[in-house]
Amino acid sequence: MNFVSIITVNFNHCHVTEAFLEAFYRTNNYLQFEIIVVDNGSLINPIPEWEVKYPSVQFIRSEINLGFAAGNNLGIAKGKGDYFFLVNNDTEFTPGLIQSLVDTLEANPKTAMVSPKIRYFQDKSILQYAGYSEMNYYTARNICIGQFEKDLGQYDTGSQITGFGHGAAMMVTKMAIESVGLMRENYFLYFEELDWAARMKKQGFDIRINLHALIYHKESISVGANSALKAYFMNRNRILFIRQNATIVQLVFFYFHFVFLVMPRNIFTYVKNGNANFIFVLFRAFIWNLTHEKNSQDLGFKL
């Protein structure tokens, strides 16, 4: 039986992480595993209390918020698994989840990453993710298959290749990580898992979804459903992703598309939704990409 390192990151939501751990122990029947919780600079350090409450869990403390990628990378560096299951702390497992994902990786040696089907926790009949289409590198657009649809089993075809895994729940092989490296930490938040999967595919690996495996997700607890932080990194990292992975021709086309279509549309949406202050955030995200190297570790945003 392959050993699985389950890694989750906490930031100022101790009750969410505790709910995650409690639900995991209620539903899990996979025996060869370890759980690693990375506290990513929470204002109050929860680890001393957790070490008493959850003695079988390994804890890592960062004194500052390193972001999604770097936080998970800390856990991977400590993990001993053949497979690493990176999962948001605002998720809830279902019985058999880990075994289903392990079976997928064991049956498909070329697969680097597999995600389960994801439904929204708030309405457990509604899909969030049933796979991704491939990326259009001219527009940085792809489709999250099934999102907001009622799950009637319309996508339940078992294991299949998909465009990208989902950052809320993705199991990755140690072999793939050794081949392509860890997630790029200068993304900080959003698009880092897409970049990781794109690099894996360039190395000849597949990305899969197992639609018979299921997890529930409490979306946007960590940053809020609508925040300047989210607006900044979604825009900044969308551009950065294309800079990291597209051809020169695709990049030039993308810049025209972003300036003349995406930015005006976003500005209109921000004003319509009463978030006119996000316009400044949008321009900061765009200017960052014009003034920084694509591997720059300067986030351009005061946390």
Q: What is the pLDDT of residue 1?
A: 72
Domain assignment of residue 30, yes or no: yes
Q: Do 160 and 279 share a structural domain? A: no
Asked whether the beta carbons of 239 and 258 are under 8 A apart, the reply is yes
Q: What is the pLDDT of residue 220?
A: 58
pLDDT tens across 205-234, in order?
A: 999 999 999 999 997 545 555 789 999 999
Domain assignment of residue 222, yes or no: no
Q: Do 212 and 146 share a structural domain? A: yes
Domain assignment of residue 97, yes or no: yes
Domain assignment of residue 303, yes or no: no
Q: Which of 158, 189, 217 is the last residue of a domain?
A: 217
How many domains are contained in the chain?
Answer: 2
Q: Do 132 and 40 share a structural domain? A: yes
Q: Do 99 and 48 share a structural domain? A: yes
Q: Which of 198, 217, 236 is the last residue of a domain?
A: 217
Shortest CA distance to 18 belongs to which of 53, 60, 43, 48? 53
Shortest CA distance to 116 belongs to which of 76, 84, 160, 73? 160
Domain assignment of residue 301, yes or no: no
Q: Do 270 and 168 share a structural domain? A: no
What is the distance between the alpha carbons of residues 81 and 205, in angstroms, rounded to a whole number? 19
Asked whether the beta carbons of 178 and 98 are under 8 A apart, the reply is no
* Percent of the chain clearing pLDDT 70 (strictly above): 98
pLDDT tens across 125-159, in order?
A: 999 999 999 999 999 999 999 999 999 999 999 99
pLDDT tens across 231-259, in order?
A: 999 999 999 999 999 999 999 999 999 99
* pTM (two decimals): 0.94
Whether the predicted pLDDT of 299 surpasses 80: yes
Q: Do 236 and 209 share a structural domain? A: no
Q: Do 79 and 54 share a structural domain? A: yes
Q: Which residue range forms the structural domain that includes residue 236?
A: 228-291
Task: List own/partner pairs for 263-266 with CB under 8 A and 24 or more apart.
Answer: 266/235
Domain assignment of residue 302, yes or no: no
